[in-house]
């Protein structure tokens, strides 16, 4: 009788009202969250006269991509008037190798720490883990000295080295926690069959790793692409990544302030990370939870 009472029409009405209230709150928060993005996109599609004479929330009278073209290929950044295009490709050339190198090194290190236990493995992992909590500012001076001695300062190659080294602590943490969940018996059986360290890694461990590889790639790409401090500290002029170039463009005060160009530049800069999260965002969550339970 108690169970049947819970399905009375009165309770159904109260549940419906609760759901409507919940959806209303969620919609309000979604609108509040998306409003800045709407303003940025709308402003980038307006000309200056419409921006000055209209409302920020008003739709463009006519869609105009001239601000996007100007930000991409015509805007003056420092002494160069080449737009964001060369700096965009600097970031692409920096991010892709850094992601690949740091992910591969993290996978190998995590594999060694979990499946090929050696004396002091836990201490090594603790030292690597400590690297996740080292602020960027702490490593700037020693890293600058290292890049100078190697001879790759003020180059994209220097930034690749910086991000690969700094990101290895995070990728090792991801892979180590994921590989703990893989049964050790697989490695022992392969060892008995004569397989070595790299053969087991290539033929057994890597085929089981796509979920955590996706996590590592998304994490590293986002961190590297959005980095400003390393780019501003270790590069100048035409070697700078897009995040530094966008900051220089937005803070340029030559003539009339072009808000539509600034907004277009911000969207161009953010587009790759948005694309990555839209395409692979759901796999990011799956990968994080895949290694949360051992066994």
pLDDT tens, residue by residue, 45-97: 998 888 887 777 888 888 889 999 999 987 777 667 778 999 999 999 999 99
Query: What integer pLDDT is reported at residue 150 of this predicted model?
Result: 92
Query: What integer pLDDT is reported at residue 12 of this predicted model?
Result: 74
Rounded-to-integer distance, Cα 197 and Cα 9, Å: 65
pTM of the entire predicted model: 0.84
Query: What integer pLDDT is reported at residue 9 of this predicted model?
Result: 55
Query: What integer pLDDT is reported at residue 289 of this predicted model?
Result: 67
Exposure of 117 in the CB half-sphere (CA atoms within 13 A): 4
Low pLDDT (below 70) residues in the chain: 1-11, 13, 78-79, 253-255, 287-295
The full set of domains in the chain, from first to last, is 2-64 (no CATH), 85-290 (1.10.3720.10)
Query: What integer pLDDT is reported at residue 5 of this predicted model?
Result: 46
Query: What integer pLDDT is reported at residue 167 of this predicted model?
Result: 92
Query: What integer pLDDT is reported at residue 254 of this predicted model?
Result: 64
């Amino acid at each position: 009788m108690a169970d049947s009472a819970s399905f009375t029409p009165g309770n159904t009405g109260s549940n419906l009202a609760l759901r409507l209230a919940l959806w209303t709150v969620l919609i309000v928060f979604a609108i509040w969250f998306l409003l800045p993005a709407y303003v940025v996109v709308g402003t980038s599609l307006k000309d200056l006269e419409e921006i000055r004479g209209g409302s920020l929330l008003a739709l463009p009278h006519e869609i105009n991509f001239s601000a996007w073209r100007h930000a991409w290929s015509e805007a003056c950044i420092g002494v160069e008037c080449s737009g964001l295009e060369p700096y965009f490709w600097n970031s692409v050339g920096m991010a892709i190798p850094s992601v690949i190198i740091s992910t591969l090194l993290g996978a190998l290190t995590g594999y060694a720490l979990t499946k090929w236990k050696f004396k002091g493995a836990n201490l090594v992992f603790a030292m690597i883990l400590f690297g996740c909590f080292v602020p960027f500012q702490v490593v700037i001076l020693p890293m600058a000295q290292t890049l100078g001695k190697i001879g790759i300062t003020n180059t994209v190659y220097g930034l690749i080295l910086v991000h690969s080294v700094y990101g290895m602590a995070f990728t090792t943490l991801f892979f180590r926690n994921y590989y703990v969940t893989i049964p050790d018996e697989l490695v022992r059986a392969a060892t008995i069959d004569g397989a070595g360290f790299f053969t087991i890694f290539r033929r057994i461990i890597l085929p089981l790793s796509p979920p955590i590889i996706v996590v590592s790639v998304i994490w590293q790409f986002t961190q590297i692409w959005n980095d400003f401090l390393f780019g501003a500290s270790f590069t100048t002029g035409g070697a700078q990544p897009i995040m530094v170039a966008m900051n220089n463009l937005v803070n340029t005060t030559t003539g009339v302030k072009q808000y539509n160009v600034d907004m277009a530049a911000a969207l161009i800069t953010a587009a790759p990370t948005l694309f990555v999260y839209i395409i692979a965002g759901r796999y990011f969550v799956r990968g994080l939870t895949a290694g949360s339970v051992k066994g």
